[in-house]
Structure 1
Amino acid sequence: MIALHVAAGCGGTGRELAPYADLTALAGFVTRTLTLDPRRGGRLRIAESRGGLVRAHQLQNPGVDRFLTAELPWLAQQGVATWASVAGSSPADIAAVVRRLATAPGLSGIELNLAVDDAASQRLHDGSTPRGAAEAVRAVLDILPDNLALHVKLGADVRRLPAVARAVAEVGCDALVIGGALPAALDNGTPAELSGPAVLPVALRAVRTVRAELPEFPLVGVGGVATAADVRAFGAAGAGAVQVGSALLHDPSALARITSELEEQS
């Protein structure tokens, strides 16, 4: 059966999702993206659309130090395989976040988030080019201990993906996370991201594109997963694992339902 993860930012701190799913049975629970300092979100952050959810979260998070004291201990106590999603304004800034996390007990790995749209406007390192992505990955690998795995999230821009994925694979990581939200806007014009059913076909194409470029490299697919059929579609496209994201914001029991469907159909 294809391994299932909770996508970054879609499981809260874990406490919110725990009543609806066995988090210890997951291959990974990915935290919201953490930065060195806390970030506040905008006033209007989420809205429904016919294709899914439009979110302008602006990487709202408590900062890595608060995560280490208030969130990770609970996840570790429950035995949840926890992956910390990280981002920063530069490779050095990203490395500073990872350095804080590197010795924390209870962490399984790092997910380096290079899939942020318009990184410059959010004061983040631009990982959308082969050079930019490779620089960020090198900065993480220089300080990442052997006991932590590294996944690199690249998004779903099929025009850039082959070259960026190749550059990251050559530097080295344990898997590439492909797919996820697409650029969008709220009704008031605020830049945002679209996630949900509408992005599934785009994410599937993105996974196939990277699989063609890197036939043997481990891939994690993400984007629009709501059913066991969606998970199998990602598997057919070349993903060995799948993240479930915005479906959980609509129905927190979706993960348990998908797992049950996969077990019944295996």
Structure 2
Amino acid sequence: MIQIKLPEEEIAGVPLRNHMLLAAGILGTTGASLKRMLNLGAGGVVTKSIGPKAIPGHHGPALIPVDGGLINAMGLPNPSKDFVEEIAPLKGEPVVVSIFGGTPEEFGTVASWFPDAAAFELNLSCPHAEGYGASIGVNPRVVRECTEIVKTYNKPVWVKLTPNVTDIKIIGKAAEEGGADAIVAVNTVKAMRISTELRRPVLGNVFGGLSGQAIFPIAVRSVYDLYDAVDIPIIGCGGISSADNVLEMMMAGASAVEIGSAIHDSVNIFSEIAADLYSKDGIPAEEIVGCAHV
């Protein structure tokens, strides 16, 4: 297997310790859990999505394991502005703050609370929160306007896209036109399960989003399509659980990756992958980014 070197420069404006970040929504609710993941080998961390008002989230069950992954319908639970104090001790660390809102103005308001963020990740892709996420992230104009307003806070802006669209390239281009520094592809895929014994949906919210190894091929295809459509870095996300997955995502066009559901199986996933992925004699990652394109 190919091995690569650790990054020597910033990726999409963020000084990552390696090419792997903790994805939003996984152990990102407290400063302590974010610090723990950095200590366990994550090259950077993305926080739980923070919005303009505190939300308790959907009632349970909110997370269920399925073959090849997990389905969740958390409903964007978050403490809103109180999260500023929670992550204050992480100033100077590679912490990307995930934010959401129902309008461009709300995105701007939330961004204004976090002057110490290494970057912002715009959640325009959650498939199970009415009025937020994918419900507005399917509109290119809104994606562009949300990106533009957050860019005024002089931080790198990453825009996380939903795969639940007809043409993800159009949404990626809109983010780039708004000044995005990177595209994150992708969030979860619309999904649900029904209990045949109870004759009703398993999730409290009925519908949710599928993550994990089952969506890895969808994420690879999305990154591959976006690489031909935009000229900014792409962060691959969706079902990554091995060093070979990281390499495949890079060959599709990703400059870095985010890992989430694989932590369900091993909290040490970052160090485990790093042991296989990196070598002092490895090649620069830039040599393989997008190399699968013909």
Pairwise TM-score range, normalised by the shorter structure: 0.7 to 0.9
How many residues end up aligned between the 2 structures? 253
SS at match of 1:183: strand
CA distance in 1, matches of 2:216, 2:55: 29
Could you tell me whether the CA contact under 8 Å between 2:37 and 2:45 is conserved in 1?
A: no
User: What residue in structure 2 maps to residue 176 of structure 1?
Assistant: 183
Structure 1 segment 1-266 matched on structure 2, within 5 A: 1=5, 3-12=19-28, 13-16=30-33, 18-19=35-36, 22=39, 26-41=42-57, 42-63=59-80, 65-69=81-85, 71-76=86-91, 79-101=92-114, 103=115, 105=116, 107-117=117-127, 121-123=130-132, 126-142=136-152, 144-145=153-154, 148-157=155-164, 159-187=166-194, 188-189=200-201, 190-214=206-230, 216-264=231-279, 266=282
Displacement after TM superposition at 1:16 (Å):
3.2
Displacement after TM superposition at 1:235 (Å):
0.5
Could you tell me whether the CA contact under 8 Å between 1:196 and 1:247 is conserved in 2?
A: yes
Displacement after TM superposition at 1:19 (Å):
4.9
* Cα distance, 1:36–1:20 mapped onto 2, change above 3 Å: closer
> Unaligned stretches of 5+ in structure 1?
none
Displacement after TM superposition at 1:208 (Å):
0.4
Could you tell me whether the CA contact under 8 Å between 1:58 and 1:122 is conserved in 2?
A: no
SS at match of 1:88: coil
Could you tell me whether the CA contact under 8 Å between 1:22 and 1:256 is conserved in 2?
A: no
> TM-score under structure 2 normalisation?
0.79
> Unaligned stretches of 5+ in structure 2?
6-17, 195-199, 283-294
Could you tell me whether the CA contact under 8 Å between 1:110 and 1:150 is conserved in 2?
A: yes
Q: After superposing the two structures, state which structure 1 stretch, 54-63 or 109-118, moved more.
A: 109-118
Could you tell me whether the CA contact under 8 Å between 1:95 and 1:140 is conserved in 2?
A: yes
* Cα distance, 1:86–1:156 mapped onto 2, change above 3 Å: same
The AA in structure 2 aligned to 1:8 is: A
Displacement after TM superposition at 1:11 (Å):
2.7
CA distance in 2, matches of 1:14, 1:204: 31
Displacement after TM superposition at 1:118 (Å):
5.7
Identity within the alignment, %: 28
Displacement after TM superposition at 1:18 (Å):
4.8
Displacement after TM superposition at 1:134 (Å):
0.9
List per-residue Cα deviations over 1:211-243 (Å, max 9, x = no partner).
1212x3211000001000100010110000101
* Cα distance, 1:177–1:227 mapped onto 2, change above 3 Å: same
> TM-score under structure 1 normalisation?
0.87
List per-residue Cα deviations over 1:142-181 (Å, max 9, x = no partner).
3x12xx2111111224622111111211221111101231
Higher alpha-carbon Rg: 2
List per-residue Cα deviations over 1:12-50 (Å, max 9, x = no partner).
325236556526x64421001100111112221100000
The AA in structure 2 aligned to 1:249 is: H
CA distance in 1, matches of 2:217, 2:68: 12
Between Structure 1 and Structure 2, the one with more helix by share is: 1
CA distance in 1, matches of 2:160, 2:106: 17
The AA in structure 2 aligned to 1:204 is: V
Could you tell me whether the CA contact under 8 Å between 1:36 and 1:97 is conserved in 2?
A: yes
